[in-house]
Amino acid sequence: MSTPFASASLYIGDLAPDVTEANLFDVFNQIGAVASIRVCRDAITRRSLGYAYVNFHSATDAERALDTLNNAPIKGRPCRIMWSQRDPSLRKSGKGNIFIKNLDKSIDHKALYDTFSQFGPILSCKVELDRNNESKGYGYIQFQTQDSAEKAIAKVNNMMLNNKKVYVGPFVAKKERIQSEAKKDFTNIFIKNLSENVSDEELHKIFSEHGLLKSALVMRDEEGKSKGFAFVNYEKPEDAFRAVEEMNNKEVDGKPVFVGRAQKKAERELELKQKFEQIKQEQMAKYQGVNLYIKNLDDDIDEDKLRVVFTPFGVITSCKIMKDMKGNGKGFGFVCYTTPEEATKAVTEMNGKIVGTKPLYVGLAQRKDVRRAQLEQQFNQRPKIPVVPGGRIPAPGAPMYGANGAPMFYAPPGQPGFVYGQMVQRGPGGGRFPYQVPGNYVMVGRGGGVKNGRGMGVPSRGRGMKPQGQHMMTPVPMVNPMPAMPVPAESAPPKLTAQVLSAFPPEEQKSLLGERLYPLIMKSQPALAGKITGMILESCTTDEMLNMLDNQDPLNEKVEEALSVLKKHTEPEEENK
C-alpha cells in the first residue's frame, strides 16, 4: 500500500476515554521511533475526545503502523487508524465515502477492511459499535478515490456476506437523508385528532373513497382504547396525496382531523426544529432594538413604578418585572418601546442612574443563547489553562488564568482568601503576605521576589524563577523561611460598594470582587468554583458583580450560564459519520 500523503502523521480514532499518551507510546513505539503523541482533549475538562495523533520520525514506520495496528485493540476497544488529513474540506466532501448496512454481527472492522480493500486503497474503515462493543449491523468506508468507492458499490451491493444480503451505497449525511425522504412520493398517511368512536372498519370505509388501501389502523392503548390517531396506507402515491388534500381539516364523527404524510421521528424533529428557529428569528426581528433589559432593581419597585420611570423616553408597549415562585421580584425586568430611537435614548439616560438605592443596569435585551454564545466566545479567548503532567486540571492551590492572561489563584480549602492575579493573601489589618505552601515555599510571579506582611522583601533563588514575561507562577524555596503568620479572627469584612472600589485600580477591583464571589460560588459548585469565578470576572461589569454579592438570583443566573458553557465543552466532539 502506497502512502497517500507525504506525511508520517497518523490519526487514531475510536479510543477508550481512559487511553493516555503513555498507553499509545507503548503500542506505537514498538513499530518505530515515535516523534510525538497527542490525545485530543476538551479544552476545559481535559477529558479525551476519543481520538489522537501519532507522529513518527519516518513515513515508512507510519505506514507499517497503519498496516499492522489498524483495528488492534487498545484497552479493549479496537482502534481506527488513518492518515492524518488536516484539510476539513476534503473530510467533509464525502468523496470516496460509502455506507454498508445489514452486516452480520460477526463482521468486525478488520473483516470489513479485508473485504473491501480489493477495490482500492482505504483511508478509513469502521463498523459502528454499541456500548458493549458489539456491531450495530452497519458501517462506513472511505476510499482514497471516488472511483474505488463506485467499484465497491457496483460489486458488493445486494451480495451475500456471511449469509446476509448487504446494502452498499454512497454515504449521505443524516440531514440530507431526511430532506431527501421528504421529497419522495408517499403512500402512508397519518391522521390525528380522531374521535375515540371511530373503528378500523369505519376508518377504512372513509379513506377508501380516495383510492385502494393496503391497510387502515387506529392506534390503541393496552386496554384497547383509541389513542386518537391512526395510519392509512394506499396502493398508489397519487391516491395518498389526494386523500391528504381532501381530508385534512375535514370533520370525521364531529371532529376536524389532521391528515398528512406519515413522517419518521427524525424528520418530525427536524421540521419542528426548523419551525422553532423560524419563530425565534421572527420574534428577534420584531423586538430587535426596542426591548430593554433592566436589572439591579430595588425590591420595592413594581411594574407600575418601572413604567413611570421609563415613560419619559417614549411609548412603552410592555413592561414586566420577573418574579420567583413566591411572587417576589427577582431584581430584573424588561421594558419594550415602539421604536429603536426611544429604546436607545432610555439606555443612554438610564444606564447607571440610581433609582431608589441602586444604580440600574439598562441595555438592549438579548436572547439567552446569544448571551451564552458571547460568554463562550470570551471564555475561548482566554489563555489556555495550564495542565500538569498526566493531563489533569490543576488542583485547588494551583494557578489558573483569568482576564488579560494574569495568573489567578484559588486558595485550597481551609486557607483564607481568594486572590486574583497575585499570589498573596490578606494579612492582619488588610495587609498582604505570600501564600506559604508545605515545605517552606512561597508562590512567586514575575519579578525578583515578594513582600511579606510588613513590607519587607523576601529574597528568592533565581534558579526557581520563570523567565520574564511567563505567566505561570512557580514555587520557589525560601532562603529564610517566614514563620507561619496567624490569621486573626476578624469580624465580617466591610461591604463592597462602588465607592469603595473606586479607590482601587481596575485589576485590584477584580481581586476584591473575586475574593467575595468565590466563596459564594463555592457553596453550590465546589468543583468548578474557580473556573466559574474567572468567567464571571471576565464577562460581567463591576455593577453586575456588586449586585451579585447582595442578590443570590442574578448570581445563580450567571452560574447557570457558565455551567452551560462548561457542559458544552465536556461533550465529546461528534464525528461526521
Residue 251 near residue 271 (C-beta atoms within 8 A) = no
Cell of 294: 433592566
pLDDT value, residue 346? 92
pLDDT value, residue 432? 38
Residue 266 forms beta bridges with which residues?
none
Cα-based angle 322, 327, 328 (whole degrees, multiple of 5): 70
DSSP code, position 388: B
pLDDT value, residue 232? 93
In Å, what is the CA distance from 518 to each residue of 529, 536, 538? Answer: 6, 10, 14
Look at the block and give the residue holding cell 507562577. 473
Cα–Cα nearest to 333, from 307, 369, 371, 370: 307
Q: Characterize 291-305 residue by residue with b for buried, 16 or more Cβ atoms within 10 angstroms of its Cβ, and e for exposed.
A: bbbbbbbeeebeeeb
Cα-based angle 19, 125, 113 (whole degrees, multiple of 5): 115
Q: How far apart are CA 243 and CA 211, in angstroms?
A: 8
Expressed in angstroms, the distance from the first to the final Cα of the chain is 25
In Å, what is the CA distance from 31 to each residue of 25, 65, 69? Answer: 10, 6, 9
- Predicted structure pTM score: 0.37
145 by DSSP, 3-state: which? coil
Backbone angles phi, psi at 301, to 5 degrees: -85, 120
H or E segment at 192? strand 188-192
Look at the block and give the residue holding cell 411572587. 327
Cα–Cα nearest to 411, from 442, 435, 393, 434: 435
What residues contact residue 271 under an 8 Å CB cut-off, 6+ apart? 263
Q: How far apart are CA 169 and CA 176, in angstroms?
A: 14
In Å, what is the CA distance from 497 to each residue of 146, 237, 511, 549, 550? Answer: 67, 72, 14, 10, 10
What residues contact residue 396 under an 8 Å CB cut-off, 6+ apart? 410, 411, 412, 413, 530
User: How many Cα atoms sit within 13 Å of 569 on the Cβ side?
Assistant: 21
Q: How far apart are CA 504 and CA 471, in angstroms?
A: 23
Q: How far apart are CA 492 and CA 411, in angstroms?
A: 19
pLDDT value, residue 94? 64
Cell of 425: 493573601
pLDDT by residue for the chain (577 residues), tens only, comes to: 444 445 788 999 889 889 999 899 999 999 988 989 999 988 767 788 889 999 999 889 998 998 888 888 898 888 888 888 766 665 566 678 888 998 888 888 788 888 888 898 887 788 888 877 788 888 888 888 888 888 899 888 988 888 888 899 888 776 666 555 555 678 899 999 998 888 999 999 989 988 899 999 999 998 889 999 999 999 998 999 889 988 998 988 888 999 988 887 777 777 777 777 777 777 767 777 889 999 999 888 899 999 999 999 999 999 999 988 888 888 999 999 999 999 999 999 999 888 888 889 998 887 776 777 766 666 666 554 443 333 333 444 333 434 333 334 333 333 333 333 333 333 333 433 333 333 333 333 333 333 333 333 333 333 343 333 333 443 444 444 444 444 444 445 667 888 778 777 776 788 888 888 888 988 888 888 888 888 888 788 888 888 888 888 888 888 888 888 877 665 544 444 4
Q: Kindly state the greatest CA–CA separation across the chain.
A: 100
Q: How far apart are CA 361 and CA 525, in angstroms?
A: 27
In Å, what is the CA distance from 340 to each residue of 170, 347, 387? Answer: 51, 11, 47
Q: How far apart are CA 90 and CA 498, in angstroms?
A: 55
Cell of 555: 448570581
Q: How far apart are CA 474 and CA 458, in angstroms?
A: 15
Neighbours of 38 (CB within 10 A): 12
Q: How far apart are CA 359 and CA 542, in angstroms?
A: 11
Q: How far apart are CA 402 and CA 415, in angstroms?
A: 20
Cα–Cα nearest to 27, from 10, 40, 4: 10
What domains lie within the chain, and their CATH numbers?
A: 9-173 (3.30.70.330), 187-261 (3.30.70.330), 288-365 (3.30.70.330), 399-441+494-569 (1.10.1900.10)
In Å, what is the CA distance from 144 to each residue of 2, 3, 101, 315? Answer: 11, 11, 21, 65
Q: How far apart are CA 369 and CA 561, in angstroms?
A: 9
pLDDT value, residue 375? 67
Q: How far apart are CA 344 and CA 329, in angstroms?
A: 25
H or E segment at 477? strand 474-477
Q: How far apart are CA 350 and CA 292, in angstroms?
A: 11
